[in-house]
Amino acid sequence: MTLPAGLNLFDLTGRRALVTGSSQGIGFALAKGLAAAGAEVVLNGRDAARVEAAAATVPGARALVFDVTDHAAARAAVDGFEAGIGPIDILVNNAGIQHRAPLEDFPPEAFERLLQTNIASVFHVGQAVARHMIARKRGRIINIASVQTALARPTIAPYTATKGAVGNLTKGMATDWARHGLNCNAIAPGYFETPLNAALLADPAFNAWLEKRTPAGRWGQVDELVGACLFLASDASSFVNGHILYVDGGITVSL
């Protein structure tokens, strides 16, 4: 296998990337980063107006509106796009939600929403896209995990469970699909300034704790995830499979 040299390893010109949950936050930042590296990006979400508004700000971007928690809808959307527009070369499974409550009082309906959005969607969209990638013998799948893939904190046990599952499903995808030419990996962000963390960002006590707990001494900025995404989406990671790449300012390696 002959690979391009130097920075060309990271060039995504001519490739198309679908990013789920990408109208804001991490997903939107990754979509913009992939576009800057040459990819045609496809933004996804359930709210058509928000997705289309976000796509309008990214050169050449498209909007693909469907519910990632609905297996049939994900399959139909992906199959229709592949038939009508063209191949999806890169998938970033980013859609996710959070709900905080003591585990003994955690609402079962909130637990179900977390399961469907944070882990079932990775299966639904991942399978739909992978079937086409397998036929082409190439493709990149990047799942968004979390520091909670490895660690737990009070009031988010179900979220921790879903992100642990994302890590293991990523390993399973690599185990099943690497033989077909797919690279399946995960990015595990630490604490980033996103709408999902709005409640924590507004809590002075949590901010003080995080600055002491994280070796880098600060929150991450969403643009700092772009490099990891480009690495895993490009030829630079051609022999990387089933890996969970922590981008967390060192929080998972320090007590």
Residue written as tokens 């930042």? Answer: 29
| Annotation marks residue 159 as catalytic | yes
Please state, in angstroms and rounded to a whole number, the distance separating the CA atoms of residues 112 and 168: 19
Please state, in angstroms and rounded to a whole number, the distance separating the CA atoms of residues 36 and 50: 21
Q: How far is CA 232 from the centre of its chain?
A: 11
Q: How many other CB atoms sit within 10 Å of the CB of residue 216?
A: 14
* Token pair belonging to 125: 């969209």
With residue 68 as reference, give the H or E element that holds it.
Answer: none
With residue 161 as reference, give the H or E element that holds it.
Answer: helix 157-177
Q: How many other CB atoms sit within 10 Å of the CB of residue 200?
A: 18
Q: How many other CB atoms sit within 10 Å of the CB of residue 139?
A: 23
Q: Which residues contact 69 (CB under 8 A, 6 or more apart)?
A: 116, 117, 120, 121, 124
Q: How many other CB atoms sit within 10 Å of the CB of residue 226?
A: 19
The answer to whether 42 and 81 have CB atoms below 8 angstroms apart is: yes
| Cα end-to-end span (Å), the chain | 42
Residue written as tokens 């992939």? Answer: 34
Catalytic residue among 159, 191, 192, 231: 159
- Residues with catalytic annotation? 159
